[in-house]
Structure 1
Amino acid sequence: MKTIFNLLAFVLIPLLAKGQSQDLTTDVFSNISNLSYTTYNAENQITSETFYRVTSSFNTLTGKKIMLLADVKPLEDPSHSTYNYLEQNSQCMTLGIKNILPGYMFDSYSNMQLNIESGTFEIPVDFYPGQQLPDAQLTISLRVVPIVHTLEYTLKNRRFTKREVLNTSAGTFECFVVESITHITPQSDEDGRLKQWFAPGIGLVKQMHYTKNGEMTGLTLLTGINTSETNSGFVQN
């Protein structure tokens, strides 16, 4: 009899664990049809508004992924519309949206099409304060036909700092905060500092970038969910 119980435990425990892991992600992104982000410069002026429309949603082996079509105001040439994505499982979120770039870049390169060409940006969905994360590196393309410039954007010394409830015009979110050191080449040899707020099942909610001297250079804010209009409002904690 003891042998039978041991055998049942050997078979059932992995199945239960798998079921619990799937339950954690069954409702991820289920209520999102679009997202709106607004970026501001240091003078609180809007430098970019991006509207992401969910074009498809599908389950992966471990979670769920949604594809987003990005429209930027003023609208880019439709032939150059870019696809972005959000993905999440029980362990991490992967963000492939242009708004994870520092807000000041949308001001500095307002006459160019700015996109992420390669690299991944991952955030664990469970953490402890002070936890260190691997460095992240993204390749950014800046286009003014027929000219293309390439930048390398690196986030170093990434770490979780705390959990925080954040109020925005898009709603109230329970977020975890990640702080990093940023470096962009060949644009500048100086490091900056980045503070980001993430909400599981949503992604980026807020982001603030500073110079190494602590001066804010730009802010990105989630300003709408499932709305065709962007409500702009400067929120700073």
Structure 2
Amino acid sequence: MKAKIIGFFCLLFISYSSISQNTCSAYYPFEEGAKFEITSFNKKGKKESVVNYEITTIDNNVATIKAKISDAKGKEVTTTEYNITCNGNSVSIDFKSLMNPDLFKQYKDMEMEMSGTNIEFPNNLDVGQTLKDANLKMTMNMSGIKMNMSINMLNRKVDAKESLTTVAGTFDCFAISYNTEMKMGMKMNYKIKEWIAKGVGVVKSETYNKKGKLMGYSELTSITK
């Protein structure tokens, strides 16, 4: 059971990846109709899931993103939506985006109640910068049995500027790291590394266990406007 739970959480914080050229947001989507794809892999490079995103509407500086989650064979598992709000000098990303695609796949038939603190990104990222923490709290109801889960993103820091290549292209990125603390009956801690590019969003994300061993990764595999 522990191994399964770890698998559900090993590819966190990918669902807010995006594309944008709008001056409102340097790093996140404010272009209606934009589409992008994130593919998740295990530590050995085997494909585990694919998430296809589309910016469906933009209204009063709020972009709605629809996400279609598929398994490794391309079979659709479920769909979800979340919002990104432009606040002038930064963007606020719905805390629901913290939800890993594997969790949606596992718990798609359960009733869920969510609350939390949105993920914030300033438009003026710089090396050495400290970013605000974020969190998600969720209650799942399974046949009258309630389960509580929390995810905390802590110690978010901009570490470096690096060039990164995926099948979607080569991008100039800021490298960001943070700690993820999850509680669901037991507490689990992970180290996340991600690379974010201006006008693209998150290009790649890696998840490490508390011993520093790679558990899985996700990367941008296509973008279209």
Q: Distance in 1 between matches of 2:135 and 2:180?
A: 10
Q: 1:226 to 1:82 in 2, by over 3 A?
A: same
Give the match for residue 52 of structure 1: 53
Tell me whether 1:67 sits opposite 2:67 in the alignment: no
Going by fraction, where is strand more abundant, 1 or 2? 2
1:111 is aligned, of 106, 110, 114, to 106
Going by fraction, where is helix more abundant, 1 or 2? 1
Q: Distance in 2 between matches of 1:208 and 1:173?
A: 17
Identity among equivalent positions (%) equals 25
Question: How far did 1:85 drift?
Answer: 2.9
Give the match for residue 40 of structure 2: 39
- How does 1:83-122 map onto structure 2 within 5 Å? 83-88=81-86, 90-96=88-94, 106=102, 110-113=105-108, 117-119=114-116, 120-122=118-120
Does 1 or 2 have the higher relative contact order (CA < 8 Å, sep 6+)?
A: 2
Tell me whether 1:206 sits opposite 2:207 in the alignment: no
Q: Is the 8 A contact 2:25 2:91 kept in 1?
A: no
Choose 132-141 or 42-51, whichever is displaced more.
Answer: 132-141
Give secondary structure in 1 for the equivalent of 2:24.
coil
Q: Distance in 1 between matches of 2:34 and 2:89?
A: 23
Per-residue CA deviation, residues 91-121 of structure 1 (Å, 9 max, x unaligned), is: 223333866556xx72x77533399933311
Q: 1:147 to 1:75 in 2, by over 3 A?
A: farther
- Root-mean-square deviation (Å): 3.3
Q: 1:146 to 1:190 in 2, by over 3 A?
A: closer
Give the match for residue 185 of structure 1: 183
Give the match for residue 16 of structure 2: none
Q: Is the 8 A contact 1:177 1:196 kept in 2?
A: yes
Question: How far did 1:173 drift?
Answer: 2.3
Q: Distance in 1 between matches of 2:210 and 2:25?
A: 41
Which structure 1 segments of 5+ residues have no match? 1-22, 228-237
Q: Distance in 2 between matches of 1:218 and 1:182?
A: 14
Q: 1:38 to 1:98 in 2, by over 3 A?
A: farther
Give the match for residue 138 of structure 1: 136
Q: Is the 8 A contact 1:93 1:200 kept in 2?
A: no
What is the identity, as a one-letter code, of the residue corresponding to 1:183? Answer: E
What is the identity, as a one-letter code, of the residue corresponding to 2:178? Answer: S
Give the match for residue 6 of structure 2: none
Q: 1:99 to 1:218 in 2, by over 3 A?
A: farther
Number of equivalent positions: 195
Q: 1:214 to 1:207 in 2, by over 3 A?
A: same
Q: Is the 8 A contact 1:112 1:143 kept in 2?
A: no
What is the identity, as a one-letter code, of the residue corresponding to 1:162? Answer: A
Per-residue CA deviation, residues 174-226 of structure 1 (Å, 9 max, x unaligned), is: 22121111110025424211111122333222111101111111211111112
Per-residue CA deviation, residues 147-197 of structure 1 (Å, 9 max, x unaligned), is: 764421111111110122222122222221211111100254242111111
Q: Distance in 1 between matches of 2:208 and 2:220?
A: 19
Q: 1:188 to 1:212 in 2, by over 3 A?
A: same
Give the match for residue 152 of structure 1: 150
